[in-house]
Structure formats: C-alpha cells, structure tokens
C-alpha cells in the first residue's frame, strides 16, 4: 500500500520539532480527517535555512511533512512556494488515493508559513 519512502519518512521523520523565534509559522488542518500540520521556518536572505514541523495525523501525513521539509531546505522562498502537493506525493513514490489529502497539508502548511513570513517582514 505504501512505498518504501513513505514508510521510511514515517518511521524516521526528518526535521520534527519547533523553531523558537521562527521567522514564519503556518498551520493547516484537514477538514476531512482532522490531521494537523504546523510548519516553522528560519529564513536568511530569502533562503529557507531550516524547517521544522509538528504533525498530528496518520503515517502518510507525517511522511508528507518530513518529505516537504527535505525538499525545501536550502531553497528560495519562491522555489518553496512553487512546491505543489503532487510533487510532495511524487517524491514519496506516490500515495494511495485515499491518502492524497495528506500530502496536500504539507505544501499548504508550508505556503502558510511563507505567507506569514512575508507579511511580518514586508
């Protein structure tokens, strides 16, 4: 049902936690299942230097958060804004159709964190 990458990122999630004094914070909650993701950013010269996340949800949600964090560290804010939910799922080797909404939370929470950063640093 799940790819080896999904299982790896679920059992060994990367970048879990919280960044104190984060430059941007975003949160999304799935209306369909109640999964919740919170993303914290540290930004330097328009580059995402660090990402941490806290996820309450299923294995696919945790794996999606972990993969998203790996995909955007070292990227510009614009590159991170261009990250799509489909790219997160694809990077995990795909997700079963009933779990695709989990990857949607990861990119959406990231985009909310970037929006928060941009609003507070305008």
pLDDT in tens, 45-92: 999 999 999 999 888 899 999 999 999 999 999 999 999 988 999 999
Report field, pTM of the whole predicted structure over 0.75: yes
CATH number of domain containing 10: 3.90.1010.10
Residues 67, 50: Cα–Cα separation, whole Å: 14
* Tally of structural domains, the chain: 1
Q: What are phi and psi of 25, to 5 degrees?
A: -135, 135
Q: What are phi and psi of 92, to 5 degrees?
A: -85, 0
DSSP category for residue 53: E
Is 33 one of the annotated active-site residues of the chain?
A: yes
Q: Which residue's entry shows tokens 């060994």?
A: 12
Q: Which of 33, 58, 81, 100 is the catalytic position?
A: 33
Is 102 one of the annotated active-site residues of the chain?
A: yes
Token couple for 106: 């990861």
Q: Which of 6, 102, 106, 107 is the catalytic position?
A: 102
Range of the domain at 101: 4-120
102: pLDDT confidence band, cut at 50, 70 and 90?
A: low
């Amino acid at each position: 049902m799940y790819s080896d990458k999904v299982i790896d990122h679920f059992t060994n999630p990367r970048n879990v936690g919280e960044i104190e004094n984060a430059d941007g914070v975003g949160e999304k909650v799935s209306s369909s299942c109640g999964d919740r993701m919170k993303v914290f950013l540290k930004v330097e010269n328009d580059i995402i230097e660090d990402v941490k996340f806290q996820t309450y949800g299923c294995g696919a949600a945790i794996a999606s958060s972990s993969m998203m964090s790996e995909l955007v560290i070292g990227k510009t804010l614009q590159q991170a804004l261009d990250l799509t939910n489909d790219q997160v799922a694809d990077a995990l080797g795909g997700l079963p159709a009933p779990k695709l909404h989990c990857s949607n939370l990861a990119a959406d929470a990231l985009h909310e964190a970037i929006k928060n950063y941009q609003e507070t640093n305008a």
